[in-house]
Amino acid sequence: MDPVVVGILRATLAFVFAQAALHKLRDHAAFDTIVRGHRLVPDASAPAVTGLLLVGELAAALALLAPGAARLGGGLALTLLTVYSLAIGTNLARGRRDVDCGCLGPGHRQPLTGWLLVRNGLLAALAAACLIPASPRTVSWLDVVSVFAGALVLILVQSAATRLAGMGFRTLAARRSA
Amino acid sequence: MSEALVVSHLVLWALVVVLALVVVALTRQIGLLHERIAPVGALALRRGPQVGEATPEMWLPDLSGRRVRVGGADALARRTLIFFLSPSCPVCKTLLPTLERVLAEQSGGVRLVYASDGPSDDHRAFVRERGLDETEYVLSESLGLHFAVSKLPYAVLLDPAGVIRAIGIVNTREHLESLFEADRLGVASLQEYLGGLEVELATRSTDAADRASAASGGRS
Compute the nearest-CA separation of B30 from chain A (Å).
8
pLDDT confidence of residue A80: 93
Give residue B169's identity as a one-letter amino acid code: I
| pLDDT beneath 50: ranges in chain B | 196-197, 199-200, 217-220
pLDDT confidence of residue B157: 83
Which range has the top average pLDDT, A115-124, A158-167, B44-53? Answer: A115-124
Q: Is the pLDDT of residue A138 over 90?
A: no
Write the residue in A142, A159, A168 that is nearest to B24 by C-beta: A159
Write the residue in A160, A168, A171 that is nearest to B24 by C-beta: A160
Beta-carbon separation of A153 and B17 below 8 A: yes
Q: Is the pLDDT of residue A75 over 90?
A: yes
Sign of torsion over alpha carbons B176, B181, B184, B186? negative
> Interface pTM (ipTM) of the complex?
0.72
Mutate to test the interface with A, among B12, B18, B23 (most CBs of A within 10 A): B23
pLDDT confidence of residue B50: 74
Q: How confident is the model at residue A176 (pLDDT cuts 50, 70, 90)?
A: very low
Q: Is A168 on the interface with B (CB under 8 A)?
A: yes
Q: Is the pLDDT of residue A149 over 90?
A: yes
More confident residue, A123 or B120: A123
Beta-carbon separation of B20 and A153 below 8 A: yes
Q: Is the pLDDT of residue A81 over 90?
A: yes
Give per-residue burial for B148-173: e unless 16+ CB within 10 Å, then b.
Answer: ebbbbbbbbbbbbebbbbbbbbbbee
H/E segment holding residue A132: none
In whole angstroms, how far apart are CA A175 and each of A31, A109, B39, B201?
Answer: 19, 10, 12, 18
Tens of pLDDT, residue by residue over B163-215, are 887 777 887 777 777 777 777 766 666 556 665 445 445 555 555 555 555 55
pLDDT confidence of residue B46: 65
**What's the CA gap between A13 and A18, in Å, rounded?**
8
The backbone torsions φ and ψ at residue B165, rounded to the nearest 5 degrees and listed phi first, read -105, -30
Alpha helices in A27-137 (DSSP H): 28-37, 46-65, 70-93, 114-130
CB pairs under 8 A between A and B: 56
pLDDT confidence of residue B3: 85
Give residue A56's identity as a one-letter amino acid code: G
Tens of pLDDT, residue by residue over A19-65, are 989 988 888 888 888 888 888 888 888 888 989 999 999 999 999 99
Write the residue in A145, A156, A171 that is nearest to B24 by C-beta: A156
Compute the nearest-CA separation of A159 from chain B (Å).
8
